[in-house]
A and B are shown apart, each in its own frame.
Chain A
Amino acid sequence: MPISVQYERPAYELVEGLREPAQPLAVSRAEPSGWARQASVLRKLGPKAWVRVSLFRNYFASGWGENGRVLSPRALDAFFRFVEGATFPTGNRSPSVFLTDRGGIELCWEDRNGSPVQVEFTGGGIEYYEAATDEEGVVAFDGLAHLSQRLSA
């Protein structure tokens, strides 16, 4: 018995104007320095902080909170440079990373004696606080390396 295959028209046809040209899959690669920076965050601050930085960087658009500003690229750059130069005490708790309303990124940890140390990187500079001495201050970006050394474990 002969087999016949009948061609049927599709139920729906896409109008030519609505078709999208095929897009080749693109693989985006971070700059080599970007990889090194992210590795540094992962190594020194741990996976939770690394994930949070990525979250703040990629998913907190402008107006995210109470008029929260988007994470400042200058603040993020300063944060990465600080982490690269700093050492943190090895303890039960790895440092914490927070996003501040003014588009800064805040790093919090405890020193060897358990006293809180905090640094907030903003678009205009760096604020720090040491609970042990109850000292807080502001430094410009060119003072970052010195601050990183000073607050290191």
Chain B
Amino acid sequence: MPLAPTEDIVRAVCTDKWDGQRLSPSLFVGENISVSRLAITALEEHWDLFREHVEKPPRRHLMLIAEINVGRLQAIGGKEDPAVELTVEPRPEAWNPAHAEIPQKITRGLANKILPELKLHQPPASEQQ
């Protein structure tokens, strides 16, 4: 059953998708984009989760966490011509019970409209030092 529009989802942003000044549109281009649900796991816990399972030091580091509301995501898809009906499906995994996916194909053009709507979270201040 797809997530409710009221839910918020996050996606890890690592070195390969962030150079300090721009976010890569490929973060949201393609099918089955992996995201994670804040309703299941709090944002603070996602830092540890992504560090353990997503980043691969020494080359690939977690830089940011990008957040978007499911309803907002769907509204962006709905404004496309033709409209793209985006859903977020729960796909819990052993390492992340909050794991979910956007199964539809997201084009580069659509990804470019999603990117400005993302809320970007910096690592907690205590970890930046």
* A contact set with B: CB distance below 8 Å: 48-49, 52, 55-56, 59-60, 64-66, 68, 93, 96-102, 104, 106, 108, 116, 118, 120, 127, 129, 131, 134, 136
Contact = CB atoms under 8 A, between A and B. Distances in A.
A98 B26 contact: yes
A101 B107 contact: no
B51 to A, nearest CB: 14
14 contacts: A55-B59, A56-B16, A60-B59, A96-B22, A98-B17, A98-B19, A100-B26, A101-B30, A102-B30, A108-B22, A118-B112, A120-B26, A127-B108, A136-B109
A99 B107 contact: no
B112 A131 contact: yes
The 4 closest A-B pairs by CB, nearest first: A98-B24, A96-B22, A99-B16, A59-B59
Interface size class of B (residues with CB under 8 A): 20 to 34
B109 A93 contact: no
A59 B25 CA distance: 22
Nearest to B30: A101
Contacts, number: 67
B69 interface: no
B118 to A, nearest CB: 15
A56 B112 CA distance: 23
A99 to B, nearest CB: 4
Contact of A97 (B19, B108, B112): B19
